[in-house]
Structure 1
Amino acid sequence: MMQTVSPSAPDVRAELGALLEIRNAQIIYDNAVEAVRDVSLSVPEGAVVALLGSNGAGKSTLLKAVTGTLHLEEGELTKGSIRYAEEDIGHARTERIVSQGLILVPEGRRLFANLTVEENLTMGAYRKTAAEMRRLKSMVFDLFPRLHERRAQISGYLSGGEQQMVAVGRALMAEPRLLALDEPSLGLAPLIIDSIYQTIDRMRHELKMTIFLVEQNASQAMEIADYVYIMENGRVVLDGPAEKMRSNLDVQEYYLGFSAGGGERKSFRDIKHYKRRKRWLS
């Protein structure tokens, strides 16, 4: 049976006001396919909140609802609400959401591949003055020194890790109040992932940034998150402070890949009975 997180555990959500609040959200595609069912979560101001789960769990669908892009794929928020900075954005367009400071770094980077690194950064700050652009570029180059070295290179020829740095840097040029990161570790080598996550941690501490992190890489995400939600089959099945989630035996076994005995690494083949045990979903 699933080990639950102690209700007496410190809850970062109780200490900080919610900047993003999702309540009982249901999302349906093509008026037929339910992708998200009765999901509630909150992202407090100044916190890092991680939304974890395997491919197809509904994470990206929820993020599309938050960033106003559901309609591009015939998706619709049919029940519940999404509020950002105390405003209802459940059916708002992307341009309105972006103007309020909620900025997305999309899965797969989606750079302007034919533009240079510096031109991509400029595109992220198209509403800024020349002086503001210089200040923001200096901040990005401080976070990502490699981008300063590559600033005149065409973005499409960069490595995957460097492209991810450009994607994050472009988002920072808009001075987000809330930065949403969709699978920032996808397709990257372990050393590059470590570097990206070190920078995300710096952004939280040095820039006091609120971050909503959507990931499959549970181990990395839990290391920097304050609070964690886990999704399966369109539902949140478990949530709690990151420290408590890391010590949860079921999370260790099924999401971090460690058995209860001796910290031995387990393979997917060893834990394939997991789906048969997920009775909390029924």
Structure 2
Amino acid sequence: MTDHTMPAGEPLLAVNNLQVVYGGAIEALRDVSFEVHPGQIVALLGANGAGKSTVLKAISGILDFEDGKIEKGEIRYAGAQLGRMTAANIVGRGLVHVPEGRRLFASMTVQENLVVGGHHRNRAGLGDSLDYVYNLFPRLLERRAQIAGYLSGGEQQMVAIGRALMSKPRILALDEPGLGLAPLVVNEIFERIRQLSRDEKLTILLVEQNAMKALAIADRAYIMENGRVMLTGSSADLKDNPDVREFYLGIKSGEVQSMRDVKHYKRRKRWLS
């Protein structure tokens, strides 16, 4: 059956049957496959421990730092195999990862953090990228001389995204960009992500626990459980899926359920049977 929600042509990023093991013993991913086409926002959804962040670490070449290893499968980006490339080479090819927790240089200023992200660019390109980031996040222009460690969580997230954008990526991989932020700030961050896709045609791979927020801006989503992809489809289809509505959006028969009811979703997931 043809999936009419998938764009025609070659994907920019294709992950096929990926298996990742930590410490030679703990299987974190099993047979994970998905595609990201140019200009799409693709979301990886699921609870803590589902394997979403491990996917981003695998495609960005940083599994070694946590004793992780790709045991089988392949990762193809822009026609090249990424499995054995270094993280620096992957960034140089235009795939940039914004990790969970932001991980800024806390003792450096906002602008110094941004400049680090564009370290390989010439002076003119660096200036253009700074202007672009400051236009996207005007608050950072006001804070450009402030020490990053003293910023609010939302401002730090803006710096982390801005630092990634300094290198003019082809794919921006975001790990939980709304984690720990106030609802109004989350709305602002997600609106900027939508803007990057809409206005700049930037391809975005979004890891997120907040399914409602992610499905509101994504073109397509993959739902993960226990290191496997269990359900996939367009965001529109998934928002209408009764299991997704009940177990991830907390909605049943048009009403929001209590969190106590939502927490029992594992017992009755029809796509796991």
Q: TM-score range by the shorter chain?
A: over 0.9
Mean alpha-carbon deviation: is it higher for 266-275 or for 219-228? 266-275
Aligned with residue 165 of structure 2, among 146, 159, 172: 172
Give the drift of 1:277. 1.8
CA contact (8 A) 2:104 2:160 kept: yes
Mapped partners of 2:9, 2:167: distance in 1:
24
CA contact (8 A) 2:14 2:75 kept: yes
For 1:118-157, what aligned pairs fall within 5 Å after superposition? 118-157=111-150
Give the drift of 1:17. 2.6
For 1:100-111, what aligned pairs fall within 5 Å after superposition? 100-111=93-104
Render the CA deviation track for 1:68-123: whole Å, top value 9, x for unaligned.
Answer: 01111111111111111111111221011011000011100000111111111111
For residue 178 of structure 1, what is the amino acid of its counterpart? I
Aligned with residue 218 of structure 1, among 211, 219, 224: 211
Q: Is 1:91 the counterpart of 2:108 in the alignment?
A: no
Mapped partners of 1:132, 1:257: distance in 2:
46
Aligned with residue 275 of structure 1, among 253, 266, 269: 266
Mapped partners of 1:85, 1:9: distance in 2:
22
Render the CA deviation track for 1:115-170: whole Å, top value 9, x for unaligned.
Answer: 11111111111111111111111111110000011111111000000000000000
Mapped partners of 2:172, 2:32: distance in 1:
20
Mapped partners of 1:72, 1:211: distance in 2:
24
Percent identity between matched residues is 55
Mapped partners of 2:20, 2:55: distance in 1:
8
CA contact (8 A) 2:243 2:269 kept: no
For residue 229 of structure 1, what is the amino acid of its counterpart? Y
Give the drift of 1:66. 0.4
Mapped partners of 2:89, 2:212: distance in 1:
34
**Superposition RMSD on alpha carbons, in Å?**
1.3
- Give the aligned partner of residue 193 of structure 1: 186
- Give the aligned partner of residue 4 of structure 1: none
SS at match of 1:270: helix
Give the drift of 1:8. 6.4
Distance change (3 Å), C-alpha of 1:245 and 1:192: same
SS at match of 2:184: helix
- Normalised by the length of structure 2, the TM-score is 0.97
SS at match of 1:18: coil
Mean alpha-carbon deviation: is it higher for 24-33 or for 181-190? 24-33
- Give the aligned partner of residue 247 of structure 2: 254
Distance change (3 Å), C-alpha of 1:247 and 1:8: farther
Q: Is 1:31 the counterpart of 2:24 in the alignment?
A: yes
SS at match of 1:240: strand
Mapped partners of 2:78, 2:34: distance in 1:
14
For residue 135 of structure 2, what is the amino acid of its counterpart? D
Runs of 4+ in 1 over 6 A off after TM superposition: none
Give the gaps of 5 or more residues in structure 2: none
Q: Is 1:10 the counterpart of 2:1 in the alignment?
A: no
Mapped partners of 1:72, 1:112: distance in 2:
18
Give the drift of 1:269. 1.2
CA contact (8 A) 1:228 1:242 kept: yes
Q: Is 1:52 the counterpart of 2:45 in the alignment?
A: yes
CA contact (8 A) 2:243 2:270 kept: no
CA contact (8 A) 1:105 1:181 kept: yes
Distance change (3 Å), C-alpha of 1:204 and 1:186: same
Mapped partners of 2:129, 2:46: distance in 1:
33
Distance change (3 Å), C-alpha of 1:250 and 1:280: closer
Give the gaps of 5 or more residues in structure 1: 1-6
Give the drift of 1:279. 5.5
- Give the aligned partner of residue 74 of structure 2: 81
Give the drift of 1:264. 1.2
Render the CA deviation track for 1:152-208: whole Å, top value 9, x for unaligned.
Answer: 111100000000000000000000011000000000000000000110111111111
- Give the aligned partner of residue 116 of structure 1: 109
Mapped partners of 1:216, 1:37: distance in 2:
20
- Give the aligned partner of residue 12 of structure 2: 19
For residue 150 of structure 2, what is the amino acid of its counterpart? Y
